[in-house]
Amino acid sequence: MAARTGKEYLERLSASRPTVHIQGETLTGGIQDHPAFRNVVRTYAELYDLQHSDAHKDVLTYTSPTSGEPVGTSFLTPKTADDLVKRRKAYKVWADHSNGMLGRTGDYMNSSLMALASAADWFAQADPAFGENIRRYYEKVREEDLLCTHTLIPPQVNRAVAGTQQASGKLAARIVKEDDNGVVIHGARMLATIAPFADEMLVFPSTVLRGTPEDKPYSYAFAIPNDTPGLRYVAREPLDYDRPRHDHPLGSRFEESDCVVVFDNVHVPYERCFALGDAELCNGFYSQTSSVVHMTHQVVTRTTAKTEYILGLVSLLTEAIGIEQFQHVQEDIAEIIATLEMLRAFLRAAEADAEVNEYGVLTPAWAPLNAARNLYPKLYQRFPQILRKLGASGLMATPTELDITGPAAADIEAYLQSATLTGPERVKLFRLVWDTCISAFSSRQALYEYYFFGDPVRMAGAYVKSYDREPYKAKVQDFLNQHSLERS
């Protein structure tokens, strides 16, 4: 099987039977037709169709080393600089399709699986079977072009204690039984984005494990089908209100569901396990395999596309209402431009300074990507603020598509026109600005970006601890010593 079409993605989804609780309803299938999911599901189908378009297929696919068929570029193991560039270009095509609003497109986890499979020897340290398992699983996902999501953290109950200690350790998903064929998982995890319409659930390590006997049941990494018996999802309220695209131009296309994942004695076969009971292996899962680097390469490409969208949107807004000549407006626009160019520079530096890791994979430089992932969660928060400030009360004058074609049409044409747009055109633009900075969809985007890689405060602490500052301390100390010698 090769890179999927949108039709093939929808056909597989229609045959899937995940258990999803949403707004008092329990679904066991039919995801592709449910109002909460059908629009975003079709957007995902469009991404798969892009793999077969004349304009993008050469960037979005490459030849499988096993089947000879075209498969997704995000599975490509980079060996050359051209490979890294191709991967980034492929990320960008998909990101541009959603203006960077889709945070869990398949290329994100595909990049992780590529790095993990290349580092199969890392997993084989605990058991040679684990190395073979991750390699075979990566090939399965690649050849079937499966859509994977993942879940990482324990339920947020009492943050004063570790997730493994909440409710005496009975809430967080854990290994409760082991048999000849695998392990049984019981408990819950957060927070699986796109879970209802993904093909596979990757259950990967997150918080640092201490390696004590108490941590052993929480030390694991595995993958299971989305409709595995005992697996169920509790979805948040959908932010797609099944309204016309004119009225909710983003929410009606790009609303990715977020779910709590419940494991009700879920059996996981050994062949789908990549780590079991080994805290050290789990703690090194991302860093020692370069997985986090390749995932971040995808993320920074996506946020670049998102920032390009914000710049284009704010530029249309300021032109429409004739405010771009004001210096405080130019200052805000300059902030967005600077963020965009910074992201581009980080990507360029990461690729230019790429090195081959111990597993033979050409890996982008981590320092610029790590800087980007620490900065962007906070920088993005400014974009909705800027749009709200510049749109001002105009963001309240946003009648619907039915109003534009209804009895209010003449009033909208007369009183809601702008310096460069007709009344209907201005309303359409301001609906897009509104859905980017004020709507529930936009608030979820801001929260999502802020916590994408975890708590920014904890990330900052880890960033400081991991950064080698000794050369800079030594430089300053040399300067101080030189000053003292001159005085003596």
Mean pLDDT of 380-388: 98
Is 457 one of the annotated binding-site residues?
Answer: yes
Mean pLDDT of 203-214: 80
Is 80 one of the annotated binding-site residues?
Answer: no
- What is the residue-wise DSSP string for 163-192? GGGGGGGTSB-EEEEEETTEEEEEEEEEEE
318 by DSSP, 3-state: which? helix
Which of 67, 77, 132 has the alpha carbon at shortest distance from 110?
77
Q: Is the pLDDT of residue 380 over 90?
A: yes
In angstroms, the CA 80 to CA 83 distance is 5
Mean pLDDT of 204-213: 78
Q: What is the pLDDT of residue 212?
A: 78
pLDDT class of 466 with cuts at 50, 70, 90: very high
In angstroms, the CA 356 to CA 473 distance is 29
For residue 359, CA distances in Å to 25, 120, 251, 362 come to 47, 9, 41, 9
Q: What is the pLDDT of residue 208?
A: 72
- pLDDT over 70 percentage in the chain: 96
Q: Quote the mean pLDDT of the chain.
A: 95
Q: What is the pLDDT of residue 213?
A: 77
pLDDT tens digits for range 274-325? 999 988 889 999 999 999 999 999 999 999 999 999 999 999 999 999 999 9
Mean pLDDT of 397-413: 96
Q: What is the pLDDT of residue 12?
A: 97
- The DSSP bridge pattern shows strands 25-28 and 220-225 to be unpaired
- CA 65, 70, 72, 76: dihedral to nearest 10 degrees? 30
Q: Is the pLDDT of residue 486 over 70?
A: no
Mean pLDDT of 89-104: 98
Is 456 one of the annotated binding-site residues?
Answer: yes
Which of 154, 162, 228 has the alpha carbon at shortest distance from 191?
154
Q: What is the pLDDT of residue 210?
A: 74
**Do the domains 6-284 and 291-474 sit in the same CATH topology, yes or no?**
no
Q: What is the pLDDT of residue 388?
A: 98
Is 207 one of the annotated binding-site residues?
Answer: yes
Q: Is the pLDDT of residue 332 over 70?
A: yes
Is 458 one of the annotated binding-site residues?
Answer: yes
Indicate the burial class of 160 (C-beta count within 10 angstroms; 0-12, 13-18, 19 or more): exposed
Is 182 one of the annotated binding-site residues?
Answer: no
6-284 falls under which CATH superfamily? Butyryl-CoA Dehydrogenase, subunit A, domain 2 (2.40.110.10)
> Out of 388-397, 410-419, 477-486, which region has the weakest mean confidence (pLDDT)?
477-486
Mean pLDDT of 336-341: 98
Is 125 one of the annotated binding-site residues?
Answer: no
Mean pLDDT of 76-89: 98
Mean pLDDT of 334-345: 98
pLDDT tens digits for range 41-79? 999 999 999 999 999 999 999 999 999 999 999 999 999
Q: What is the pLDDT of residue 163?
A: 64
Is 63 one of the annotated binding-site residues?
Answer: no
* Residue found under tokens 């408990």: 187
343 by DSSP, 3-state: which? helix
- pLDDT over 90 percentage in the chain: 89
Is 136 one of the annotated binding-site residues?
Answer: no
Is 107 one of the annotated binding-site residues?
Answer: yes
pLDDT class of 156 with cuts at 50, 70, 90: confident
Q: What is the pLDDT of residue 164?
A: 66
Q: DSSP letter for 145, please.
A: T
Check if the beta carbon of residue 256 is closer than 8 Å to that of residue 41: no
Own/partner long-range contacts of 412-417 (Cβ < 8 Å, ≥24 apart): none
Is 19 one of the annotated binding-site residues?
Answer: no
Q: Which amino acid is at 148?
A: C
In angstroms, the CA 268 to CA 206 distance is 19
- Please give the sequence-ordered ranges of beta strands (E in DSSP) within 295-434, or none if there are none: 355-356, 362-363
Check if the beta carbon of residue 394 is closer than 8 Å to that of residue 438: no
Q: Which residues pair with 187 in a beta bridge?
A: 263
Q: Is the pLDDT of residue 170 over 90?
A: no
pLDDT class of 243 with cuts at 50, 70, 90: very high
pLDDT tens digits for range 102-135? 999 999 999 999 999 999 999 999 999 999 999 9
Check if the beta carbon of residue 35 is closer than 8 Å to that of residue 242: yes
Q: What is the pLDDT of residue 77?
A: 98
Mean pLDDT of 145-153: 95
In angstroms, the CA 461 to CA 476 distance is 23
Q: Where are the domains of the chain?
A: 6-284, 291-474
Which of 142, 167, 141, 143 has the alpha carbon at shortest distance from 154?
167
In angstroms, the CA 238 to CA 465 distance is 39
Which of 194, 205, 209, 368 has the alpha carbon at shortest distance from 291?
205
CATH architecture observed for domain 291-474: Up-down Bundle (1.20)
Mean pLDDT of 18-41: 97
